[in-house]
Chains A and B, each alone.
Chain A
């Protein structure tokens, strides 16, 4: 399995995975550092110290990490395989509900109605026993399996139907949007048994640890950081394998991939299911940190926002998705505080500007600037940098293209 003979590359699988991925190495290092340092600073630095990260900030950053994982999930299918899902928030929400159900069961008799088996909202609805689909959710391991299995199963069934019928492009986008909207309506209904309008909330503890405690929050933050790194590495493994190149072939020329003998629908289905599971994990880590999951998470606008994160960051790079998710959500946190009513206009404007001027997102900005500088300043370049002066003026263009492709 670990034989290095065929491709002369030394080191473990991780080294090999990140060998040609300078940006990814940096991202993984930064994320690891953040995952360790932020919780440590929160727990051990005295309050008021410059180095202290407040619990509020840590929770906020933890949310961004979950969003970043969700963005990677979307970039995996959209950036590499051309599947524009406008319903990926649904998988995130389902993962969140699976975690929420576990957290509800953990409340036990500490609820308002002090019923040891039934969550408050069920008592309120005069239900006398737990619905069958709530069984098992008192076990953490079971809930964690469901975090992967429920989004994965939905993605499998939906994908099998859509991809085998060769639904592509805008039609696929529309039905993914319809999917999440249908789930929104369903989860709003009280008799679905998921808390209706209010969703699931008032969580007390996770694995016996108090959710309000700083140490629990720090652990959840750490877990989110690790999940994000893991999600990145899994996605990176997929896109750098031959399977990843088949995905790119499908994105660029689906019929060519078919005539080369690849069963396009299976490839799409595979990556769609993996992506939905990553989204589910993101949702599961999000819920204990924000303390609530309700049907609003299925809202179509949420799914569209994910697309904007990825587009702003830079589609088809994975690390760009992380940057985009953090940037846009930081802006959202700031602007919804400062000018709440303007935020949606700004978000729309951001998308338009990105589409017009930043086709490769912020991670492509540097290459864009470099290209412009080098092509407009061919003669001026000699005064700027002696090392670039020697290159023929027409060679930088393919060079930069390649650098982007590898990045």
Chain B
């Protein structure tokens, strides 16, 4: 209750960031960043290199502690107080820029490990694969199109397939909010478009924040866009709006 008082807006948010600053050795990676995402919203984040996109994900997921500022999840949890695992278990999933799946485990084992719940050591030791969990894996596997690679080592997948598997692992966690860093990097055009379709499908059930460089991909997502620059928000709006914003053209698109 007391936390909610610090909010400066009235509508419900799944992610609320206000005045978040982080500096590394005097360099301000985030400079009083304020941004909020509504439940069920999909948001694209763009910005030149060094704009603070990855640092922003780091502070949300508990990897980096901000120097100042408020970060609320679902209007109640102050994310700056928790570590990575706790934030993940609250319902914030994160996909990295470089596909990071567990290469020496099979696709199935990767997904099984991602399934929600059973995070303690003892639960992991006593874990049994129930029919319910099997069904969930089946459901994810058909969504990410890896059915025929199910029992192969994740290390043998192509780059694009690894990206998809990692997205599948995010789904297994059943997060409310997905943070996704450059999902289309290294994908073919066809894969990129398929991924955009998948995200649009996901946005029916989850809130998404997608960092991306690929303008075609952003266009295909067809959602609200936030432009970051030097650690704070430069512009926000529809892609059309943002593209025609003079400041944005100067720092980013114009080059």
- A246 vs B114: C-alpha distance when bound (angstroms): 10
Q: Among the listed B119, B128, B130, B152, which residue makes an inter-chain contact with A261, where contact means beta carbons less than 8 Å apart?
A: B119
Interchain CB contact under 8 A, A258 and B88: yes
Interchain CB contact under 8 A, B85 and A263: yes
Please encode chain B, from 93 to 123, with 1 for each CB lying within 8 Å of some chain A CB and 0 for all others.
1101000111111000100111000111100
- A266 vs B121: C-alpha distance when bound (angstroms): 7
- A245 vs B107: C-alpha distance when bound (angstroms): 12
Q: Which residues of chain B are within 8 angstroms of A7 by Cβ–Cβ distance? A: 128-129
- A398 vs B120: C-alpha distance when bound (angstroms): 33
Q: Which residues of chain A are within 8 angstroms of B169 by Cβ–Cβ distance? A: 260
Given contacts A245-B113, A248-B104, contact A261 B88 (CB under 8 A): yes
A73 within 8 A of B: no
- A260 vs B104: C-alpha distance when bound (angstroms): 17
Residue of B102, B118, B130, B156 ringed by the most chain A CB atoms within 10 A: B102
Q: Among the listed A245, A264, A401, A402, which residue makes an inter-chain contact with B109, where contact means beta carbons less than 8 Å apart?
A: A245
Interchain CB contact under 8 A, B102 and A248: yes
Residue of A246, A259, A398, A401 ringed by the most chain B CB atoms within 10 A: A259
Q: Which residues of chain B are within 8 angstroms of A260 by Cβ–Cβ distance? A: 88, 113-114, 169, 173
Q: Which residues of chain B are within 8 angstroms of A398 by Cβ–Cβ distance? A: 152, 156
B153 within 8 A of A: yes
Please encode chain A, from 378 to 407, with 1 for each CB lying within 8 Å of some chain B CB and 0 for all others.
000000000000000000001001100100
B3 within 8 A of A: no
B5 within 8 A of A: no
Residue of A252, A256, A401 ringed by the most chain B CB atoms within 10 A: A256
- A258 vs B124: C-alpha distance when bound (angstroms): 15
CB distance from A62 to the nearest CB of B (A): 31
**Chain B interfacial residues counted at CB < 8 A:** 37
Interchain CB contact under 8 A, B100 and A249: no
Interchain CB contact under 8 A, B127 and A243: yes
Interchain CB contact under 8 A, B85 and A258: yes
Interchain CB contact under 8 A, B105 and A248: yes
Q: Which residue of B lies closest to A253 (CB)?
A: B100
Please encode chain A, from 255 to 286, with 1 for each CB lying within 8 Å of some chain B CB and 0 for all others.
11011111110110010000000000000000
A241 within 8 A of B: yes
Residue of B63, B125, B156 ringed by the most chain A CB atoms within 10 A: B125
A238 within 8 A of B: yes
B195 within 8 A of A: no
A6 within 8 A of B: yes
Q: Which residues of chain B are within 8 angstroms of A10 by Cβ–Cβ distance? A: none
Q: Among the listed A241, A246, A253, A401, which residue makes an inter-chain contact with B153, where contact means beta carbons less than 8 Å apart?
A: A401
CB distance from A360 to the nearest CB of B (A): 12
- A248 vs B109: C-alpha distance when bound (angstroms): 11
Interchain CB contact under 8 A, A256 and B102: yes
Interchain CB contact under 8 A, B153 and A402: yes
B230 within 8 A of A: no
Q: Which residues of chain B are within 8 angstroms of A6 by Cβ–Cβ distance? A: 128-131
- A405 vs B103: C-alpha distance when bound (angstroms): 12
| B binding-site residues for A, Cβ under 8 Å | 61, 63, 83-85, 88-89, 93-94, 96, 100-105, 109, 112-114, 118-121, 124-131, 152-153, 156, 169, 173
Chain A to chain B contacts (Cβ below 8 Å), 18 pairs = A6-B131, A7-B129, A238-B125, A242-B113, A242-B118, A242-B125, A242-B127, A243-B125, A243-B127, A245-B105, A245-B113, A248-B105, A249-B102, A253-B100, A258-B88, A262-B85, A266-B120, A405-B153
Given contacts A253-B100, A258-B88, A259-B85, 9 further A-B contacts (CB under 8 A): A241-B126, A243-B125, A245-B102, A253-B101, A258-B85, A261-B85, A263-B85, A263-B119, A266-B121
